[in-house]
Amino acid sequence: MSIQPAMSEPVLLDIHDGVARVSLNRPARNNALDLEIAKAFASAVEAIADYPNVRVALLTGVGRCFCVGGDVVRFSLDPGNLAPQLDELLAILNAALLAWTGLPVPTVSALNGPLGGGGIGLALSSDIVLAAESAKLRGGYAGIGLTPDAGATWFLNRRIGPVRTKQLFLLNRPTVASECLEMGIFDAVYPDAVLAKEVDQLLAELVRGPTRAFAGIRQVSDAAPHQSLAEQLALERELIVDAGRSRDGQEGVIAFAEQRTPQFIGH
């Protein structure tokens, strides 16, 4: 059983062979964020969470841009109501981002082109961020008199620290993909024509992995900066004991002893 996308939707969702692919689909507007696309993204994430046997989730964009951030042109049509427009949009988008980061599977972002504004938060919300060489990043907010949103400062802080995050948004200068890689914003950068192949190879690797253990790895890694050593040791103990009860955990140690590749089934 699989889910196939309707190509006219603002967000495409394709689930097949354990891989859930979410694609922002407003290429004519460079995948700018509005209420429609935010609601569609939220629905896609909800569908992934409810769908059995998903083992990895991908977020990407259709067209030449990943996501330029909020639909500023649409906001400009009713500037007097800018604040309530932003509030309504972020109520939906923030909940969807929390749901995305809370998925019990590894998440990957494939940045097919430039990104800015709220697109930064979307891009960096995944565990692994791969980018095309054309994926230039620009904060954008200072240029229109607004402040960051969609988790952009939180995700950037985790990757490059508060000083560089602040400078990136204050100066509002474009940062090319190679610079983003050097700074640690992106995890890998590939020629545009090669990105899809590299993404597929990574997804194939992750979908064969121990999905339940992956969830524990994500949980314990995210918790580490916020806990004392004693708390972290206790959490690590709890999770590895739980993994030891799993079929994949037991298969892994048997395969190691037998000097063969383990056959993980995800639980």
pLDDT of 8 reads 74
Contact by Cβ (8 Å): 118, 150: yes
Please tell me the total number of residues recorded for the chain in this structure: 267
Helix crossing, 162-171 with 152-160: angle to 10°? 130
pLDDT of 5 reads 56
Plot region of 110 (φ>0 → left; ψ -120 to 50 → alpha; else → beta): beta
Q: For the chain, list the domains and their CATH numbers.
A: 11-207 (3.90.226.10), 211-257 (1.10.12)
Helix ranges (H only) for 51-188 are: 72-76, 82-101, 118-124, 152-160, 162-171, 177-183
User: Among 194, 203, 198, 209, which Cα is nearest to 261's?
Assistant: 209
129 forms beta bridges with 109
pLDDT of 2 reads 58
pLDDT of 242 reads 95
Successive 10-residue mean pLDDT values, the chain, 267 residues: 67 97 97 97 97 96 97 94 96 97 97 97 98 97 95 97 96 97 98 97 96 95 95 96 95 95 91
